[in-house]
Structure 1
Amino acid sequence: MRLALLQPPDVAVRTVTTEPRTLTDLGLDALCTAMSRDEEFGEDPAVAAAVRAILPVSVTDPEVIRYRHAVLADCCAHPDAVRELYRIATRATQIKRYRVGPRHRPNGKLLLALEPLRELLGCLRELRTACARHTASFESAGFADLAATVAAELDESYLTSVEQQLATLDFEHGLHFTASLGPGDKIAGITLHAPIRRRRFGLDRRTGRAFEAIDDPEPESDPLVRLQNPALQIIADVVSDAADHVQDFFGLLHTQLAFYLGCVTLHRRLIRDSIPFCLPTVHPTGSARLRCTGLRDIGLCLTAGRTVVGNDLDATGRTLVIVTGANNGGKSTFLRSVGAAQLMAHAGIFVTATTFETDLHGGIFTHFAADEDRTMSHGKLVEELTRMSTLIDHMTPNSLLLCNESFATTAARDAEQIATPLLNALLDTGITILFVTHLTEFARRRADSPHPTDLFLRAERLPDGTRTYHLTPATPEPESHATDIFHKVFDRTPESHTPPR
Structure 2
Amino acid sequence: MRPGLLFAGDAEARPAHALAERVTEDLGLSAVIDAMAAGDAFLAETARSVLLAAPPSPEDVAYRQEVLADCLREPDLVRELYELAGRALQAQRTAAGAVYFDSPETLLNQSIVTLTAYVTLLRDLRALAGRYRPRVSSTGFTQFFTLADDQFDDAYLASVTNRIAELSLDGNLLVSARLGAGNQSEGFAIRRPERQSRGLFRRNTTPKATYKLPYGDEAASRALGTLRDRMLAGLAISADRSARSVLAFFTALRFDAAFYLGSLNLHQALTTRGAQICLPSVLASPPPSSPSALSSSSALSSSSALSSSSALSPSSPLSPELTARGLYDPGLQLRLDEPVATNDLNADGKSLIMVTGANRGGKSTFLRSLGLAQLMAAAGTFVAATSFTTSARSGVFTHFTTDEDDSKTSGKFDEELRRMSQIADTIGPHGLLLCNETFQSTNEREGSDLARHIIDAMTDAGVTVVFVTHLHELAQACYDQRDRLPALFLRADRDRSFRLHEAPPEPTSHGTDLWHRLHHPAAL
The structure 2 residue matched to 1:82, chosen from 78, 83, 90, is: 78
Residue 151 of structure 1: how far off its partner (Å) = 0.7
Matching residue of 1:315: 347
The structure 1 residue matched to 2:356, chosen from 321, 324, 329, is: 324
Residue 167 of structure 1: how far off its partner (Å) = 1.6
Matching residue of 2:116: 118
The structure 1 residue matched to 2:423, chosen from 383, 391, 397, is: 391
Residue 236 of structure 1: how far off its partner (Å) = 1.8
Matching residue of 2:310: none
What is the CA RMSD across the aligned residues, in angstroms?
2.6
Q: Distance in 2 between matches of 1:220 and 1:237?
A: 27
Is 1:50–2:46 an aligned residue pair? Answer: yes
Q: Which amino acid aligns with 1:48?
A: A
Matching residue of 1:237: 237
Q: Distance in 2 between matches of 1:310 and 1:404?
A: 19
The CA deviation string for residues 238-268 of structure 1, in whole angstroms up to 9 with x for no partner, is 2222222222221211111111011112222
CA contact (8 A) 2:273 2:338 kept: no
The structure 1 residue matched to 2:486, chosen from 453, 470, 480, is: 453
Q: Equivalent residue of 1:136, what SS?
A: helix
CA contact (8 A) 2:478 2:485 kept: no
Residue 16 of structure 1: how far off its partner (Å) = 6.8
In structure 2, stretches of 5+ residues that fail to align are 287-318
TM-score, length of structure 2 as denominator length: 0.86
Q: Distance in 2 between matches of 1:456 and 1:260?
A: 37
Matching residue of 1:2: 2
Q: Which 10-residue stretch deviates more, 347-356 or 209-218?
A: 209-218
The equivalences for 1:63-102 within 5 A come to 63-95=59-91, 96=93, 97-98=95-96
Matching residue of 2:262: 262
Q: Which amino acid aligns with 2:51?
A: L
Residue 58 of structure 1: how far off its partner (Å) = 5.0
The structure 1 residue matched to 2:501, chosen from 468, 472, 480, is: 472
Identity of aligned residues (%): 39
Q: 1:426 to 1:218 in 2, by over 3 A?
A: farther
Residue 204 of structure 1: how far off its partner (Å) = 7.1
Q: Distance in 1 between matches of 2:203 and 2:344?
A: 83
The CA deviation string for residues 27-63 of structure 1, in whole angstroms up to 9 with x for no partner, is 11111111222xxxxx322222211111101533111
Is 1:221–2:254 an aligned residue pair? Answer: no
Matching residue of 1:498: none
Q: 1:492 to 1:226 in 2, by over 3 A?
A: closer
Residue 482 of structure 1: how far off its partner (Å) = 1.9
Residue 477 of structure 1: how far off its partner (Å) = 0.7
CA contact (8 A) 1:171 1:195 kept: no
Q: Distance in 1 between matches of 2:377 and 2:424?
A: 23
Q: Distance in 1 between matches of 2:414 and 2:457?
A: 20
Matching residue of 1:299: 331
Residue 339 of structure 1: how far off its partner (Å) = 0.4
Q: 1:171 to 1:353 in 2, by over 3 A?
A: same
Q: 1:447 to 1:122 in 2, by over 3 A?
A: same
The structure 2 residue matched to 1:413, chosen from 445, 464, 474, is: 445
Q: Which 10-residue stretch deviates more, 50-59 or 184-193?
A: 184-193
Q: Distance in 1 between matches of 2:247 and 2:84?
A: 12
The CA deviation string for residues 143-196 of structure 1, in whole angstroms up to 9 with x for no partner, is 111111111111112112211211222213732333345566554433333344
Residue 73 of structure 1: how far off its partner (Å) = 0.5
CA contact (8 A) 2:273 2:339 kept: no
Q: Equivalent residue of 1:6, what SS?
A: coil
Q: Equivalent residue of 2:341, what SS?
A: coil
Residue 473 of structure 1: how far off its partner (Å) = 1.1
Q: Distance in 2 between matches of 1:411 and 1:210?
A: 100
Matching residue of 1:491: 520
Q: Equivalent residue of 1:87, what SS?
A: helix
Is 1:345–2:343 an aligned residue pair? Answer: no
Q: Distance in 2 between matches of 1:184 and 1:490?
A: 101
Residue 458 of structure 1: how far off its partner (Å) = 0.8
Q: How many residue pairs were aligned?
A: 484
The equivalences for 1:69-218 within 5 A come to 69-95=65-91, 96=93, 97-98=95-96, 104-172=102-170, 174-181=172-179, 186-200=184-198, 211-215=209-213, 217-218=216-217
Q: 1:380 to 1:167 in 2, by over 3 A?
A: same
Matching residue of 2:472: 440
Q: Distance in 1 between matches of 2:11 and 2:151?
A: 20
Residue 345 of structure 1: how far off its partner (Å) = 0.5
CA contact (8 A) 1:219 1:225 kept: no
Q: Equivalent residue of 1:468, what SS?
A: coil
Q: Equivalent residue of 1:29, what SS?
A: helix
Q: Which amino acid aligns with 1:163?
A: T
Q: Distance in 1 between matches of 2:98 and 2:218?
A: 19
Q: Which amino acid aligns with 2:341?
A: V
The CA deviation string for residues 332-386 of structure 1, in whole angstroms up to 9 with x for no partner, is 0000000000010001111111111110111211111122222221122111111
Residue 101 of structure 1: how far off its partner (Å) = 9.7
Q: Distance in 2 between matches of 1:407 and 1:476?
A: 18
Q: Distance in 1 between matches of 2:197 and 2:434?
A: 77
Q: Which amino acid aligns with 1:221?
A: A
Residue 211 of structure 1: how far off its partner (Å) = 3.9
